[in-house]
Structure 1
Amino acid sequence: MNPLDLFYMGSPLFMSIITIWGVGMLIFSTKKVVHLFVHKTITKSGLGLILLFGSLAVVTGLLGQAIGLMMAFNAIQVVGDVSPALLAGGLRVSLIAPVYGLIIFVISLIIWGVLKEVYQRKLEANE
């Protein structure tokens, strides 16, 4: 399936917000890498922002899923009888935004963990 199709199926509003959190996480990650390897400055300030943006991506994805499921269950209640195949397809679509948010969170967690370890080793080497 085309990633652009998944983006639109997962609600463009929530997928865009999750993408913004991901871009923010990458900006702060890049900033920390530049400070560490180019400017040779050792500071842990701002490291938490990488995890913050990753966490916001997950929470935004879950919020999008909750709102989507509420709307879907309301439609099912109005219509009445719904086929299991239609219900399964709707549940699959409702998982797109949270999975996208989780992917961004995992990336942020990896970057945060690596940078934290590098900072710790550099601090120990300077002592």
Structure 2
Amino acid sequence: MSVADLLKHNFMDGGPGFMTLHYLMWVLVVILTARAAKNIRSTKCDYRKLEKLNTTILFIGGFGLLLSLFYRTMGMYNAFSVLETTSDISPTLVAGGLKASLVAPLYSLFLFLVTGIIWFIFRLKIIDKRIVTQMS
């Protein structure tokens, strides 16, 4: 199974509505990270802009995580409502549903992990640049 097939399969399992939003968050994080890296490399580094970009990157990761947990909770509530009204349910069917409900939070946890690392790296760069400019 190729990476594209895996992403397509997970896109459908995670729910097209949320997963589209989640992929857009990934694209936004990549764009903001590129802008922040460009700002760091410029000779006239704007610290306020860099701090805003850095905070926004971390916020997107955290918001994606919270949104996916909310989305999963809604899905689990609906699934348990159906289980409550149905008398004969296969354990395999329930396990498959639980597995599918974890797709969106897994993607969001990975996004949050990546944005946390990006935030930490840029935070160190901001501190280093401030120390250098204060010594000059």
* TM-score, normalization by structure 1: 0.91
Query: What fraction of aligned residue pairs are identical, expressed as a percent?
Result: 28
Matches within 5 A, 1:60-71: 60-71=67-78
Quote the Cα distance in structure 2 between the aligned partners of 1:17 and 1:62: 14
Aligned match of 2:131 in 117, 124, 127? 124
What's 2:92 paired with?
85
Summarize deviations over 1:75-127 as a string: whole Å, max 9, x none. 21222221222111111110000110111111100101000101111111122
Q: Displacement of 1:38 after TM fit?
A: 2.9
What's 1:104 paired with?
111
CA RMSD of aligned residues (A): 1.5
Matches within 5 A, 1:1-127: 2-43=6-47, 44-127=51-134
- Residue type of the partner of 1:25? V
Secondary structure of 2:88's partner?
coil
Unmatched segments (≥5 aa) in structure 2: none
Q: Displacement of 1:45 after TM fit?
A: 3.0
Alpha carbons 1:21, 1:56 under 8 Å: kept:
no
Secondary structure of 2:45's partner?
coil
Quote the Cα distance in structure 2 between the aligned partners of 1:92 and 1:45: 37
Quote the Cα distance in structure 1 between the aligned partners of 2:86 and 2:43: 62
* TM-score, normalization by structure 2: 0.86
> Which segments of structure 1 move beyond 6 Å, counting only runs of 4 or more?
none
- Residue type of the partner of 1:26? V
Deviates most, 108-117 or 15-24: 15-24
Alpha carbons 1:50, 1:108 under 8 Å: kept:
yes
